[in-house]
């Protein structure tokens, strides 16, 4: 059962050294206010699992810039040069994973699967150190589940039972990560009463969600 809590209370559960999943795709669908609070709190030594590390300047990128992360599992880091710099300088351990593989690994963890066989990465350095299996004459890589201590998500709408609805391309990794973490925190734009979301409209069942955090309106900063 989800609880509506303050930003501070929710992020108090994010501790040094934890493995953190964060939804979003180059910022779209990333829970910016939750991320800002993680930075603010100064949590360090995180293992971050995310599609990317945002665009330099956005909330996601700050996790890297402010050195909250010691290990990164992602599919693409080209939009945040600081990630590449830290990687090249051996300040950050980076594991790059094909996007379709990463999302299936997360799904496998959530769905209780011991792994999945994918053709992606065969014949590339991605296959290094991995078990290969041949099924019906085709080679596949065995990719293992990826689980996290905490998932930080962004949703468009939620009811007080924790049911989540995402909007447009902001859905991306969010509903998959919701299944694969011990603790799930969602930053939500609109929170409504139980019964106001049609059962068929729900994209993440409320049983996956622990904390709801109401997105706060922010003052727009105008230069000058």
Partner 1 sequence: MEWLVKRVAQEFNTGDVVNLGIGIPTKVANALPEGIKIILQSENGYLGVGPAPEVGKEDSDTVNAGGQYATILPGGCCFDSAMSFAIIRGGHVDATVLGALQVDEEGNLASWMIPGKMVPGMGGAMDLVVGAQRVIIAMEHTAKNGGLKVLKKCTLPLTAAKQVNLIVTDMGVMEVTSKGLVLKEITPGLTFEEVQACTEASLSYRAE
Site residues (CB under 8 A) for a copy of itself? 104, 108, 111-119, 131, 133, 135-136, 138, 140, 142, 144, 165-168, 171, 199-201
- Pick between residue 54 and residue 175 the one whose CB is nearest to a copy of itself: 175
Tell whether the torsion through CA atoms of 41, 31, 164 and 220 is positive or negative. Answer: positive
56 binds, among partner 1, a copy of itself, none (CB under 5 to 8 A by kind): none
Q: Residue 162 Cβ, how far from partner 1 at the closest point, in Å?
A: 9
Question: Does 163 engage in binding with partner 1 (CB under 8 A)?
Answer: yes
Q: Which residues contact 137 (CB under 8 A, 6 or more apart)?
A: none
C-beta pairs of 93-101 under 8 Å, 24+ apart in sequence: 95/71, 97/73, 97/126, 98/126, 99/51, 99/75, 101/126, 101/141, 101/143
In 3-state terms, what secondary structure has residue 120?
coil
| Beta strands 93-96 and 181-192, pairing class | unpaired
Q: Which residues contact 36 (CB under 8 A, 6 or more apart)?
A: 59, 62
Structure tokens given for 103: 């999302």
Distance separating alpha carbons of residues 90 and 3, to the nearest angstrom: 40
- Pick between residue 117 and residue 160 the one whose CB is nearest to a copy of itself: 117
- x/- map, 81-120, partner 1, by CB under 8 A: ---x--x--------x-xxxx-xx--x-xxxxx----xxx
Tell whether the torsion through CA atoms of 23, 26, 32 and 34 is positive or negative. Answer: positive
Question: Does 125 engage in binding with partner 1 (CB under 8 A)?
Answer: yes
140 binds, among partner 1, a copy of itself, none (CB under 5 to 8 A by kind): a copy of itself
Question: Does 199 engage in binding with partner 1 (CB under 8 A)?
Answer: yes
Interface contacts to partner 1, rule CB under 8 A:
1, 25-29, 51-52, 55, 74-79, 84, 87, 96, 98-101, 103-104, 107, 109-113, 118-126, 156, 159-161, 163, 166-176, 179, 194-195, 197, 199-200, 202-203, 205-208
């Amino acid at each position: 059962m989800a609880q509506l809590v303050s930003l501070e209370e929710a992020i108090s559960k994010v501790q040094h050294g934890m493995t953190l999943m964060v939804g979003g795709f180059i910022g779209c669908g990333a829970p910016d206010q939750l991320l800002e609070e993680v930075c603010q709190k100064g949590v360090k030594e995180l293992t971050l699992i995310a599609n990317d590390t945002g665009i330099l300047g956005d909330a996601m990128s700050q996790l890297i810039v402010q050195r909250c992360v010691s290990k990164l599992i992602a599919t693409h880091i080209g939009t945040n040069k600081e990630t590449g710099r830290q990687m090249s300088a051996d300040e950050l351990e980076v594991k790059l994973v094909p996007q379709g593989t990463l999302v299936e690994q997360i799904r496998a963890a959530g769905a209780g699967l011991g792994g999945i066989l994918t053709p992606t990465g065969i014949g590339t350095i991605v296959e290094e150190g991995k078990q290969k299996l041949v099924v019906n004459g085709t080679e596949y890589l065995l990719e293992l589940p990826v689980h996290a201590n905490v998932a930080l998500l962004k949703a468009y709408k939620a009811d007080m039972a924790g049911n989540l609805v995402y909007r447009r391309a902001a859905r991306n990794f969010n509903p998959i990560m919701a299944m694969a973490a011990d603790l799930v925190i969602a930053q939500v734009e609109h929170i409504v009463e139980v019964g106001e979301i049609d059962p068929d409209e729900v994209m993440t069942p409320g049983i996956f969600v622990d904390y709801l955090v109401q997105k706060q309106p922010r003052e727009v900063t105008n230069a000058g």
